[in-house]
A and B are shown apart, each in its own frame.
Chain A
């Protein structure tokens, strides 16, 4: 099935560092969502973006909907140990049957 290209695949960072990850696609999306998933649990919504160019923050998290509507990034500032998990971008493609198309995920590990 179709997936969004998400990078990096994994990252090891130290507590207090800033983190950046992004998603790209060859297709146009009308919505971008960023989720965090902990082991054995379902994804939890972090940020939702509905308009091209939109920049939205949620605490230490900031995400942007690319102008071309084919990409999005998520930044986490001053990372803490509880930021550990897998982050997924997800988008809703225009003109398709799929509810959401998910990225391949970025595994974040934070060391003290």
Chain B
């Protein structure tokens, strides 16, 4: 059974640009959550999608957005990149929005903003 797949693994962008990250959940999982991991702030919850709808949202500015497709794949977009957006972005999937059973993380996308 394939795990959670995140692409790309590494990305370098310039300040002011925008970026889109992709996450394919485990087959059969319909909930996808996104997290940002930085040395200073640790792992912070961004948002969660289930059935193409945003279910939960963390405390991040509107520059961070996401969406989910009918096949449960999710994308995360960050607009007007800032240096502080450099981080490891992780997604996790689970079977249902209200369940942590089988909650599995991908390997992440390392974003560097220069």
Contacts and interface: CB of A to CB of B under 8 A. Distances in A.
Contact of B41 (A1, A44, A97): A1
Interface in A17-36: 31, 33, 35
A97 B43 CA distance: 15
Interface stretch (A55-63, A65-73, A99-107): A99-107
B57 interface: yes
Interface residues of A, number: 24
Contact of A33 (B35, B44, B58, B103): B103
Interface stretch (B11-19, B69-77, B79-87, B104-112): B104-112
Nearest to A100: B45
B90 A102 contact: no
B100 A42 contact: no
Contacts, number: 58
B22 interface: no
A42 B105 contact: yes
Chain B: interface size category: 20 to 34
B41 A45 contact: no
Contacts of B41: 1
B33 interface: yes
Given A31-B100, A40-B108, A97-B56, 4 more contacts: A33-B100, A42-B4, A97-B58, A100-B45
Complex A-B, nearest 8 residue pairs according to Cβ-Cβ distance, in ascending order:
A42-B105, A102-B43, A97-B56, A98-B45, A1-B44, A99-B33, A42-B107, A43-B105
